[in-house]
Amino acid sequence: MKAKARLLLIALAAIFVTVLTRPTLAYYTTIGKATNVVTSGDIQLQIHEKTADGSDFPAEGVYIIPGDIVSKQVSVENVCGHPFYLRVKLVSGSTNESLSADECLKLDIDTRNWTSQDGYYYYNQILQPGECTSALFTQVEIVGSKVDQTHVGSTLSLTVNAYAVQSENNPADHPWDASGWPAE
Amino acid sequence: MKKCFAVLVVCLVLAACVLPAAAANGQVTYQKGAEKFIFLPGSEYSPTDLFPNFKDVMPGDSIQQKILVKNDAANNCKVKVYMRALGAHEDSAAFLSQLDLTVAKGTDTVMFDAPADQTAQLTDWVCLGTLYSGGECELIVTLDVPVTLDNRFMDLVGYLDWEFAVEELPVEPEDPRPPQTGDESQILLWAIVLAVSLTMIIVLLFSRKKKEKE
Chain A residues inside the 8 Å CB shell of B157: 37-39
- pLDDT value of position B13: 45
Give pLDDT tens digits for B22-79.
Answer: 447 999 999 876 678 999 999 999 999 999 999 999 999 999 999 999 998 876 788 9
Q: Do B55 and A32 touch (CB under 8 A)?
A: no
Using CA atoms, how far apart are residues A67 and B156, in angstroms rounded to an integer?
50
Percent of chain B with pLDDT over 70: 82
Over residues B120-132, mean pLDDT: 95
Which residue did the predictor score with more confidence, A21 or B199?
A: B199
Domain membership of residue A166 (yes or no) is yes
Least confident of A48-52, B10-14, B103-107: B10-14
- pLDDT value of position B92: 97
Least confident of A74-78, A174-178, B15-19, B122-126: B15-19
Q: Does A43 touch chain B (CB under 8 A)?
A: yes
Domain membership of residue A7 (yes or no) is no
Q: Does A23 have pLDDT greater than 80? A: no
- pLDDT value of position B203: 86
User: Is residue A74 within 8 Å of A126, Cβ to Cβ?
Assistant: no
Domain membership of residue A40 (yes or no) is no
Domain encompassing residue A99: 45-177
Question: CATH code at A139?
Answer: 2.60.40
Domain membership of residue A31 (yes or no) is no
Percent of chain A with pLDDT over 90: 68
Which residue did the predictor score with more confidence, B64 or B169?
A: B64
Q: Do B170 and A82 touch (CB under 8 A)?
A: no
- pLDDT value of position B17: 41
Domain membership of residue A18 (yes or no) is no
Domain membership of residue A141 (yes or no) is yes
Which residue did the predictor score with more confidence, B118 or B173?
A: B118
Least confident of A4-8, A161-165, B77-81: A4-8
Domain membership of residue A6 (yes or no) is no
A148-168 b/e with 16+ CB inside 10 Å = b? Answer: eeebeebebebebebbbbbbe
Question: In whole angstroms, how far apart are CA B16 and each of B9, B11, B52?
Answer: 10, 9, 18
User: Is residue B58 within 8 Å of A82, Cβ to Cβ?
Assistant: yes
Over residues B80-107, mean pLDDT: 96
Say what the alpha-carbon torsion angle B53, B54, B60, B66 is, to the nearest 10 degrees: 50
Q: Does B14 have pLDDT greater than 50? A: no
Q: Select from B43, B160, B207 the Cβ nearest to the Cβ of A4.
A: B207
Q: Does A46 have pLDDT greater than 80? A: yes
Chain A residues inside the 8 Å CB shell of B147: 169-170, 179
Strand partners, A90: A160
Which phi and psi angles does B197 have, rounded to 5°? -60, -45
Band of residue A183 on the pLDDT scale cut at 50, 70, 90: confident
Which residue did the predictor score with more confidence, B36 or A167?
A: A167
ipTM of the shown complex: 0.75
Band of residue B18 on the pLDDT scale cut at 50, 70, 90: very low
Count the domains in chain A. 1
Domain membership of residue A153 (yes or no) is yes
